[in-house]
Amino acid sequence: MADMIREKSKIVLGIDTSGKIASIAIADKDRVLANITVITELTHSQVLLPLLKKLLSDACLTLDDIDAVTVANGPGSYTGLRIGISAVKGLCFKSRKKCAGISTLKSLAINVCNGETREKIVFSVMRARPNVSYFGVYKLSGTKIECINDDAVCSNEDILKYKQDNDFDNIILVGDNAKEIKESLFKDDDNVALAPIDKRLQNASSLCMIALNDDTILDDASKLNASYLQVTKAEKDRREIK
C-alpha cells in the first residue's frame, strides 16, 4: 500500500510584473495548473491581487496549497518590479514560504524551451530606452538552460557586434524588443529568428518551471531584491545632491 502512495507534487506560484504584462501562473512538475497573462494600462498594484484571487479560485486552490513563490526580479519597469517583489515578500513573510527572484531575461528564454535536444541560442532583449536594450544570452538544450552572457544594458550596436563576434547557429529572439532588433539589426540574417508571438513576452509559467527544475534557488523572502541593471532615477538624484 505504501508503494502506491505518491509523494505530493510541489506547487509553485509565479508572478511577473516586469513590464506592461501582468502574468500569474501556478504549476507543478508535470503541468501548468492555471495561468493568467494580460497586457494592461493599469498599474500592477491595481490588477495583481484581483488576478491572483481569480487564479486561485479558478484552480480550486488556496495560498495554503502553494509550496513556493517565484517572481521576476529584473530587469524591467522599476515600479512594476517593486510591486511584484513587495507582493511576494508579503505573501512569503506571512506564510514562511520560500521564494525566488528570477531574471526576467532568463524567464523569457525559457519560453522557447520545448525539450529539443538540439542546442539553441536565445537572445533575450527588452527595451530599456531608445536604441538601448536589456540583453541576456542563454543556451537551451533539452530542458536545461545556461546563461552564456550575463544580463546587461547594451546599445543595439553592441548586440550586433556580440553576434558578429560569436559563431552561433539557430538564434531565437525573445522579449518586447525582439521585433525591433530583428528588423533593425538582423533583417536579412536567416540564422536569427523571432520567437512565435505567443512565446515572445513574459509568462509567469516560465518562472515556475525554472524553480521546479532547480529548487536550490528558493530562499527566505528577506533575501529577495530587484536587479535593475541600471541606476534608478532616485539613485541618480541622490548622487547629484551629494
Residue 6: what pLDDT? 42
How far is it, in rounded angstroms, from Cα 29 to Cα 46? 30
Which residue type, as a one-letter code, is found at position 187? K
pLDDT over threshold 80, residue 237: no
pLDDT digits (tens, 9 = 90+) for 88-121: 999 999 899 999 999 999 999 999 998 777 889 9
Answer whether residue 240 shows pLDDT above 50.
no
Identify the architecture of domain 2-104+202-237 in CATH.
Answer: 2-Layer Sandwich (3.30)
Q: Provide the pLDDT confidence category of residue 182 given band limits of 50, 70 and 90.
A: very high
**The residue type at 201:** L
Backbone angles phi, psi at 12, to 5 degrees: -120, 135
178-185 vs 156-165: helix axis angle to the nearest 10? 70
CATH topology for the 112-199 domain: Nucleotidyltransferase; domain 5 (3.30.420)
Q: 184-197 pLDDT, tens per residue?
A: 999 999 999 999 99
Q: Where are the domains of the chain?
A: 2-104+202-237, 112-199
Residue 230 has a pLDDT of 84
- Assign 3-class secondary structure to the chain: CHHHCCCCCCCEEEEECCCCEEEEEEECCCCEEEEEEEECCCCHHHHHHHHHHHHHHHCCCCHHHCCEEEEECCCCCHHHHHHHHHHHHHHHHHHCCEEEEECHHHHHHHCCCCCCCCCEEEEEEEEEECCEEEEEEEEEECCEEEEEEEEEEEEHHHHHHHHHHCCCCCEEEECCCHHHHHHHHCCCCCCEEECCHHHCCCCHHHHHHHHHHCHHHCECHHHCCCCCCCCCHHHHHHHHHC
Same fold, 2-104+202-237 and 112-199: yes
| pLDDT tens figures, 10-67 | 999 999 999 999 999 999 999 999 999 999 888 999 999 999 999 999 999 999 999 9
Contacts of 5 (CB under 8 A, 6+ apart): none
What does pTM read for this prediction?
0.92
Give per-residue pLDDT as tens, 210-221.
Answer: 999 999 999 999
Greater pLDDT, 241 or 15: 15
